Amino acid sequence: MRIARPRIRAGATTAGATALVAAAMIATPLGSTAAVASAHAVPQTKAVPAVAGHQLVSGVSSPLPTEQCQAKWKIACYSPVQYRQAYDLNPLYKSGITGKGRTIVIVDSFGSPTVQHDLDVYSKQYGMKSTKVQVKKWGHVPAFDPENSDMTGWAGETTLDVEMAHAVAPDAKIVLVETAVAETEGVTGLPEMMSAEKSLIDHGVGDVITQSFGATENTFPGFDKGDFSSIGSLRYAFKDAARRGVTVLASSGDGGATDSTADGKGYYTKRVNSWPSSDPLVTSIGGTQLHLDAKGDRTAPESVYNDNGAGGGGQSHVFGRPAYQNGVKKAVGSRRGTPDISMAAAVDGGAWVYSSYDPTAVGWDVSGGTSEASPLFSGIVALADQAAGHRVGDIHKALYALSPRTSSGVVDVSDGTNNSYQGVTGYTAVKGYDMATGVGTVDAARFVPALARASRRG
């Protein structure tokens, strides 16, 4: 998720090179950080897009099997083939549910000039059919500069978003909206993103929107005075989406129960939340850690993402508890609680991603963060849209109604791990809903048809 927060990246400059275990702390989109030159790099800070992931391995000439990643870099790394097995997607594909006829909208600042080429390479590597990425520029998007760290950070986020969405819903159309202003903390960049989303919604483009960005609620103007109008004035796109049946998702962040300060140089020392993840009209996507073998079968149940970052979650200080969370009021109290549901995000268990936007680091990266989780779940929604024969729309009511049912495909995460981070005590994954992973994660073969049926009733 694009939030100004620390990023860690272990860079492997070429295939076979020794990984540089770096501690580069950079505020960038959830999922991307600048490479560092040595294992003892001094932490850096820079206020950039609010939610970014973590690139742990960079510029490898070809992806390695999980076992080799663990031996070489001490982390697990996963392919889309493993994800498809882990999330039980293959039975859906065999039945023709592939996202065909549905459109996923991805919104990122600046985008990537090589996104189509990179998706083609990624797809070919794993024996998948590629798809055309329709790029829509919103505003006067500047020419891409590979030496501009803001642009390369967003390009990394863009690449992660597109490839993860495609990995889950291979036949869904992808529309990438590139905005001209980098989203950071507070309102910066968000007006352009919201106006772009509303325009596409009004023109009937997109069934599900995934947002790998966010800003700490506390950094918005007026927050410290109890004036939340700066957030309220940005909600028009989500209200429009609700009216038109478009599902809106957002990454919950990588700061556990805390989040980045306005200058991007640190974290709040108390529990905070981020918007748009905290918005009641947005489905908040948190993070888990997958434990898989080479085939993608689970070697242990999913746990909370908490390694070099932690899945965002907690109470909103802006929004009260929505009606769909009344059944989990013991967990969320009187406030809107996040996340709603979670997908893979841990850096130890990151995703292989191919990119070539940076000529100095062309090749395969391993990335994580909740900016991986949100596009993964956008693919799940696209599959449900196809199964239902229409947009499933705002899925909150269905999601919370389905979660207690063992046959619904909602898989509880309750192993007792937590999302404490940067000294701020977080929340523990327990039986039922919690603010570490929401209602849990999914078994797609059961969840997709269950969500489709629930949307028909709703």
User: With left for phi above 0 and alpha for psi between -120 and 50, is residue 229 left, alpha or beta?
Assistant: alpha
Asked if residue 212 lies in contact with residue 251, where contact means CB atoms within 8 angstroms, the answer is yes
Token output for 190: 């968000």
What is the pLDDT, as a whole number, of residue 30? 41
* pTM over cut 0.75: yes
What is the pLDDT, as a whole number, of residue 39? 26
Which residue matches tokens 């819903």? 169
Predicted confidence (pLDDT) at residue 351 exceeds the cutoff of 90 = yes
What is the pLDDT, as a whole number, of residue 21? 26
Q: Which residue type is seen at 118?
A: D
What is the pLDDT, as a whole number, of residue 183? 83
Distance of CA 6 to the CA centre of its chain: 16
Closest CA to 312 of 418, 184, 419: 419
What is the pLDDT, as a whole number, of residue 61? 86
pLDDT tens digits, one per residue of 243-272: 999 999 999 999 999 999 998 889 999 999
Rounded CA gap, 11 and 365, in Å?
8
Closest CA to 31 of 152, 157, 146, 155: 157
Average pLDDT value for residue range 346-363: 95
Fold of 76-352+366-457: Rossmann fold (3.40.50)
Beta bridge partner(s), residue 210: 106, 249
Higher pLDDT, 52 or 19: 52
pLDDT tens digits, one per residue of 68-85: 999 999 999 999 999 999
Predicted confidence (pLDDT) at residue 5 exceeds the cutoff of 50 = no
> How does DSSP classify residue 326?
G
Mean pLDDT, rounded, of the chain: 88
pLDDT tens digits, one per residue of 81-113: 999 999 999 999 999 999 999 999 999 999 999
What is the pLDDT, as a whole number, of residue 58? 65
For the chain, give every domain's residue range. 76-352+366-457
The total of other beta-carbon atoms located within 10 Å of residue 136's CB is 17
What is the pLDDT, as a whole number, of residue 457? 57
Q: Residues of 373-396 as b/e, b for ≥16 C-beta within 10 angstroms?
A: bbbbbbbbbbbbbbbbeebbbbbb
Which helix (DSSP H) or strand (DSSP E) does residue 373 occupy? helix 370-388
Closest CA to 79 of 364, 371, 374, 444: 364
pLDDT tens digits, one per residue of 393-440: 999 999 999 988 878 999 999 999 999 999 999 999 999 999 999 999
Rounded CA gap, 366 and 59, in Å?
9
Could you give the C-alpha distances from 267 to 19, 216, 219, 274, 279, in angstroms and in order? 28, 10, 11, 12, 21
pLDDT tier for residue 354 given thresholds of 50, 70 and 90: very high
Average pLDDT value for residue range 155-176: 98
3-state DSSP assignment of residue 401: helix
Asked if residue 197 lies in contact with residue 237, where contact means CB atoms within 8 angstroms, the answer is yes
Please provide the DSSP assignment of 258-311 as one string.
--B-TTSS-B-SS---EETTT-TTSEEEEEEE--B-TTS-BSS--EE-BSSSB-
pLDDT tier for residue 308 given thresholds of 50, 70 and 90: confident
Rounded CA gap, 346 and 304, in Å?
8
Predicted confidence (pLDDT) at residue 8 exceeds the cutoff of 60 = no
Q: Helix 149-168 crosses helix 370-388 at what angle (to 10 degrees)?
A: 40
The total of other beta-carbon atoms located within 10 Å of residue 425's CB is 14
Predicted confidence (pLDDT) at residue 136 exceeds the cutoff of 90 = yes
Instruction: Give the whole-number percent of the chain exceeding pLDDT 70.
Output: 87
Instruction: Give the whole-number percent of the chain exceeding pLDDT 90.
Output: 81
What is the pLDDT, as a whole number, of residue 165? 98
Predicted confidence (pLDDT) at residue 50 exceeds the cutoff of 90 = no
Please provide the DSSP assignment of 115-150 as one string.
HHHHHHHHHHHTT-----EEEEEES-PPPP-TT-HH
pLDDT tier for residue 56 given thresholds of 50, 70 and 90: low
Predicted confidence (pLDDT) at residue 26 exceeds the cutoff of 60 = no
What is the pLDDT, as a whole number, of residue 57? 67
The total of other beta-carbon atoms located within 10 Å of residue 359's CB is 9
